[in-house]
Structure 1
């Protein structure tokens, strides 16, 4: 995968945004999500602005995020990480992000609680 392929560019965009988000910059989502962003997780809103407002108060915004692996192709970036809420147990997360013209158009996720030391 070269830096000029769609996969490499989307991976780089994702890693930059993930790093900023994990550092507390929720507003980075405004620069990486399409305005008509579609969220596929039940109970989470679609649309960039509604999704960012939702995430601002969601557990992930205040959690420690330890990225384990990232897989990318020309359209999708898949991230696997451990989310640890302050004073809480860890949660394994797999996010699937679909990119369109350099921005995230859709999102799916799978979350699973993990016992201490099992990740």
Structure 2
């Protein structure tokens, strides 16, 4: 399985099905987190999911790219209350598992009026 395929499977199973039962297949125990609202490690990620899954997120991947051990995922995240976030996640993989994560998030874009016709996604 390529790094890109692993990340796609991770998003489908974990983020869209809200299922962390197979997290050991995807993530290293010492996962490094650069999002300031989440703790390091697999345990920190699990703690983050308690909050995040409560929002009932649905992720629609717009673009995904792989460059060596890095995978870049640009997606639309819609939560149950109708809020939409525009997100780019960056992962570094090691030994076929997620080892490190960065993200760039634009929150609540559902009310943004664009000055062009290109759209947000």
Q: Distance in 1 between matches of 2:59 and 2:80?
A: 11
Stretches of structure 1 lacking an aligned partner (at least 5 in a row): 1-7
Normalising by structure 1, what TM-score?
Answer: 0.83
Contact 1:26–1:61 (8 Å) recurs in 2:
no
The residue that corresponds to 2:26 in the other structure is: 32
Contact 1:63–1:86 (8 Å) recurs in 2:
yes
Query: How many corresponding residue pairs?
Result: 112
Of residues 69-78 and 29-38 in structure 1, the stretch that sits farther from structure 2 once superposed is 29-38
Normalising by structure 2, what TM-score?
Answer: 0.82
Counterpart selection for 1:104 from 94, 98, 120: 98
Q: Distance in 2 between matches of 1:53 and 1:44?
A: 8
Structure 1 residue 17: Cα displacement:
1.2
Q: Distance in 2 between matches of 1:69 and 1:36?
A: 27
Confirm whether residue 10 of structure 1 aligns to residue 3 of structure 2: yes
What is the RMSD of the two structures over their aligned residues, measured on CA atoms? 2.0
Confirm whether residue 115 of structure 1 aligns to residue 100 of structure 2: no
Confirm whether residue 58 of structure 1 aligns to residue 57 of structure 2: no
Q: Deviations over 1:36-93 (max 9, x none)?
A: 1110011310011122122222258621111101010111001011001112221001
Contact 1:77–1:96 (8 Å) recurs in 2:
yes
What is the DSSP-based 3-state SS (H/G/I as helix, E as strand, rest coil) of the residue aligned with 1:12? Answer: helix
The residue that corresponds to 1:94 in the other structure is: 88
Change (3 A) 1:28 1:95: farther
Contact 2:33–2:101 (8 Å) recurs in 1:
yes
Confirm whether residue 83 of structure 1 aligns to residue 83 of structure 2: no
